[in-house]
């Protein structure tokens, strides 16, 4: 893989591999890890040095990194994560998703999560812009509708895999419901809401795409729902949407359920109702509620 990057310093490599700088120095002294020494005595490491080192250690029980680094490309991903190079990560995710290289997209997301990027920020700063670029490229005619589907389904798959990795707290903060309106097919944003809330300790009931809203009252009561999260992206029939929303708002109000709304659909949909506590723009705002 082509890279402009020439060398890692000892500190950078230590950070990348998740070890102390003294460990890096020891490995070089023991001859396990090659390096170049500058005139001033500083160690510099090339991609090749690091790749060879990792390759030789692959079968040992020593874990040098949280992510399996199997190629120069994986090393580059780890490096860009460490540098917080979001522009690179977004572009990389987009191109890999287009080729349906799910494993590579997984590596970026897993790497970010293991590097302690908050989940909401992974969604706000990395995946949301990628999905927006996808929409823009499709609208501009750069991608066919099938390519658009391939990318969005790949991203949907990888976020669901990421969900399996989340560190969930022991204590539960109660039940919440995640919903869309009945004609809504876009469900990636509300899936992300689900994950952020689950990671924060809520038990999330998720009804998925095209959920029938009638009969919601017994559900709210049976599961003692305190908050309902509603996402709207595309509104094909505004009249029907307004009708459904009023029904939902009234049901929630009489059952003392707070509603939090989000998504582009609320640019036109009414959310001025006593049951609606807030309209949020970003996933990180969920944690302030």
Count of CB atoms situated within 10 Å of the CB of 281: 11
Using CB under 6 A, pick the residue from 55, 84, 95, 135 that binds ligand B12: 135
According to the binding rule CB under 6 A, does residue 238 interact with ligand B12? no
According to the binding rule CB under 6 A, does residue 131 interact with ligand B12? yes
Dist. CA 204–CA 207, nearest whole Å: 10
- Tell the smallest beta-carbon distance from residue 251 to ligand B12 (Å): 18
Total residues binding ligand B12 (CB under 6 A): 35
According to the binding rule CB under 6 A, does residue 186 interact with ligand B12? yes
Please choose, out of 41-49, 58-66, 250-258, 261-269, the segment that lies near ligand B12 by the rule CB under 6 A: 261-269
3-state helix, strand, coil in the chain (%, to 5): 50, 10, 35
According to the binding rule CB under 6 A, does residue 139 interact with ligand B12? yes
Would you mind telling me the total number of residues written for the chain in this entry? 289
Six token digits for residue 46: 């090339």
According to the binding rule CB under 6 A, does residue 188 interact with ligand B12? yes
According to the binding rule CB under 6 A, does residue 231 interact with ligand B12? yes
End-to-end CA distance of the chain: 44
**Tokens 């990180």, residue?**
284
Query: Closer CB to ligand B12, residue 124 or residue 199?
Result: 124
**Tokens 């500058």, residue?**
38
Using CB under 6 A, pick the residue from 165, 185, 224, 274 that binds ligand B12: 185
Please choose, out of 17-25, 32-40, 166-174, 229-237, the segment that lies near ligand B12 by the rule CB under 6 A: 229-237
DSSP code at position 177: E
- By the 10 Å C-beta count (0-12 exposed, 13-18 middle, 19+ buried), 216 is classed as buried
Nearest C-alpha neighbor of 15 from the set 110, 115, 87, 148: 115
Interaction residues for ligand B12, span 150-169 (CB under 6 A):
152, 156
According to the binding rule CB under 6 A, does residue 282 interact with ligand B12? yes
Residue partners of 75: CB distance under 8 A and separation at least 6: 47, 50, 51, 54, 69
Please choose, out of 28-36, 53-61, 168-176, 257-265, the segment that lies near ligand B12 by the rule CB under 6 A: 257-265
Q: Helix, strand, or coil here: 175?
A: strand
Residue 84 main-chain phi, psi, to 5 deg = 55, 40
According to the binding rule CB under 6 A, does residue 176 interact with ligand B12? no
According to the binding rule CB under 6 A, does residue 94 interact with ligand B12? no
According to the binding rule CB under 6 A, does residue 128 interact with ligand B12? yes
Using CB under 6 A, pick the residue from 108, 262, 269, 271 that binds ligand B12: 262
Task: By CB under 6 A, name the binding residues for ligand B12.
Answer: 124, 128, 131-132, 134-136, 139, 149, 152, 156, 183-190, 192-193, 229, 231, 233-234, 236, 260, 262-264, 280-283, 286
């Amino acid at each position: 893989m082509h890279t402009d990057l020439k060398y890692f310093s000892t500190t950078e490599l230590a950070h990348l591999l998740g070890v102390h700088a003294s460990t890096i120095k020891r490995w070089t002294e023991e001859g396990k890890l090659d390096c170049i020494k500058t005139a001033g005595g500083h160690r510099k490491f090339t991609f090749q040095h690091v790749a060879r080192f990792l390759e030789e250690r692959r079968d040992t029980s020593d874990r040098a990194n949280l992510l399996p680094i199997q190629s120069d490309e994986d090393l580059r991903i780890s490096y860009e994560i460490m540098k917080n190079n979001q522009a690179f990560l977004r572009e990389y995710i987009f191109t890999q998703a287009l080729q349906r290289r799910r494993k590579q997209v997984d590596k970026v997301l897993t790497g970010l999560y293991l590097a302690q990027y908050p989940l909401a920020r992974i969604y706000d700063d990395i995946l949301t812009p990628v999905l927006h670029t996808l929409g823009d490229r499709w609208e501009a005619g750069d991608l066919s509708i099938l390519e658009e589907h391939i990318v969005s389904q790949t991203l949907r798959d990888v976020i669901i895999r990421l969900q399996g990795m989340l560190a969930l707290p022991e204590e539960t903060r109660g039940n919440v419901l995640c919903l869309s309106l009945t004609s809504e097919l876009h469900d990636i944003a509300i899936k992300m809401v689900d994950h952020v809330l689950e990671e924060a300790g809520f038990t999330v009931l998720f009804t998925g795409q095209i959920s029938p809203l009638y009969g919601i009252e017994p559900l709210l009561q049976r599961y003692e729902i305190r908050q309902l999260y509603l996402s709207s992206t595309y509104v094909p029939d505004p009249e029907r949407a307004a009708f459904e929303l009023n029904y939902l708002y009234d049901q929630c109000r009489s059952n003392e359920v707070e509603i939090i709304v989000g998504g582009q659909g609320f640019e036109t949909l009414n959310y001025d109702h006593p049951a609606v506590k807030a309209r949020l723009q970003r996933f990180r705002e969920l944690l302030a509620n």
